[in-house]
Structure 1
């Protein structure tokens, strides 16, 4: 092939790749030659060849959207998978209920979930974050926050006159996860802004949007924790109205893991003697 033809072929390839990127066909821009080679090897017809390209691009675009939804959800790393949850360790937890919630039908029905327990480390956050991850994977806009981070963020918005803008971060997603109410008792002793939490709960309630809430604060103690009995009553009323209540009464998995770790090293010490 002459240098002139090579140059022309290179220009064509570059123009083709540029047009693909312009149309958002990123995978085709990078892998079109491999796709052509595979089509030649399998003697694909024109329709099958184009259909394969479209399906591949659609799958790649969907995966990019999922990755964006997960990133924007602010879910903590490492991500929690429901398959990694040890249901055998919490026999009081109804596994069938959790699997039903994992179908995400509660979002379509505009329902919420309240995970509650007396103890820490029983798996409330793990399941909540796993359901949030599933929501992202099924194209639901999702946002994760702890209760203290939400209240502190909105409180800053009051002083900076950016409250409306900050609120949209919590009211616009299809699913909002408010985690760990009760882990932040000392932090919230000074700033008890129940009315700010109410603003979010009330807006989502009126918009029929789903919420996942986790807490180890018993219902009678919410008013003391949030510092406003009247507002707290309104919050409870809205949370409980359309919520599936999942109570987990069991041992701490973190404590169990700690005990197993100590046993492991104790055993190694005895073997070394």
Structure 2
């Protein structure tokens, strides 16, 4: 049987004050340890469910089903090493760089989900959603609250940077957010544009160089090269339907 003092510490951590008030007679009962374990397991399950809802990761293909042979270039060992989540302990950033459809979002969602399962707080969003949300706020107090919301998670994943162009205000807001998280929390970014082209994403924004500098400092940049996997799947579906039609008409 587990040491009663250890059980008492677990009950205190769970704030089971009614049980603690009757600890002398109850602390050595056979049912106490299973009760504590049930409560811990249930709270852990509910915590994971809540964090999953709040993370907004959505549906994604598991890493075990990822087609590593399709990209012409993708450092599988580096991606799998990220799943250890060591980068979170170092407050390091991650940048997944590559053209459309090579699996950047899928990899980002797998990393984000792994962080959630391991007890970290996570928020997954697209650049358009994030910057649109921040730019729509018309008061300084509301903006500060929203920036704190995005700055708070252990891991903030910003998907699809580079797919749209943004104003100087959007650039300033992203710079402010990255600065708040700088060297304190990890930020994961997926982008289809090399950093030399970010001036086209944020035209005429004075902070672009500083934004990139803070984002890539103490960051791991993983480049992925290849053709669109979505186009490959669409072509395969089209060929399969054509085959079925020929078979039905033969």
With structure 1 as the length reference, what TM-score do the two structures score? 0.76
Rounded to whole Å, the distance in 2 between the matches of 1:70 and 1:145 is 13
Q: Does 1:181 align with 2:181?
A: no
Q: Closer, same or farther in 2 for the Cα pair 1:196/1:73, shift >3 Å?
A: same
Rounded to whole Å, the distance in 1 between the matches of 2:168 and 2:233 is 34
Q: Closer, same or farther in 2 for the Cα pair 1:60/1:132, shift >3 Å?
A: same
| 1:218 positional shift | 2.2
Deviations 1:24-71 (A, max 9, x none): 9xxxxxxxxxxxxxxxxxxxx953x43233223212211111111111
Name the counterpart of 2:77: 96
Aligned partners of 2:71 and 2:226 also within 8 Å: yes
| 1:145 positional shift | 1.3
Which of 39, 43, 55 does residue 73 from structure 1 map onto?
Answer: 55
Within 5 A, what are the aligned runs for 1:216-231? 216-231=192-207
Name the counterpart of 1:106: 87
With structure 2 as the length reference, what TM-score do the two structures score? 0.83
Deviations 1:78-106 (A, max 9, x none): 24432232222225212111111001111
Q: Does 1:64 align with 2:41?
A: no
Q: Which has the higher helix share?
A: 1
Aligned partners of 1:115 and 1:215 also within 8 Å: yes
Rounded to whole Å, the distance in 1 between the matches of 2:61 and 2:35 is 33
| 1:179 positional shift | 0.6
Name the counterpart of 2:133: 153
| 1:229 positional shift | 4.6
Name the counterpart of 1:13: none
Which of 97, 102, 117 does residue 116 from structure 1 map onto?
Answer: 97
Aligned partners of 1:192 and 1:226 also within 8 Å: no
Rounded to whole Å, the distance in 2 between the matches of 1:147 and 1:230 is 19
5+ unaligned residues in a row in structure 2: which ranges?
Answer: 1-14, 18-27
More displaced 10-residue stretch of structure 1: 80-89 or 146-155: 80-89
Q: Secondary structure at the match of 2:136?
A: helix
Q: Bigger radius of gyration, 1 or 2? A: 1
Rounded to whole Å, the distance in 2 between the matches of 1:59 and 1:225 is 46
| 1:219 positional shift | 1.6
Q: Closer, same or farther in 2 for the Cα pair 1:86/1:53, shift >3 Å?
A: farther
Which of 216, 232, 247 does residue 256 from structure 1 map onto?
Answer: 232
Q: Does 1:197 align with 2:174?
A: yes
Aligned partners of 2:60 and 2:106 also within 8 Å: no
Rounded to whole Å, the distance in 2 between the matches of 1:23 and 1:167 is 35
| 1:150 positional shift | 1.3
Q: Does 1:169 align with 2:146?
A: no
Q: Secondary structure at the match of 1:92?
A: coil
Aligned partners of 2:116 and 2:122 also within 8 Å: yes
Within 5 A, what are the aligned runs for 1:15-54? 23=16, 46-47=29-30, 49-54=31-36
Name the counterpart of 2:68: 87
Name the counterpart of 1:269: 245
Q: Secondary structure at the match of 2:207?
A: helix
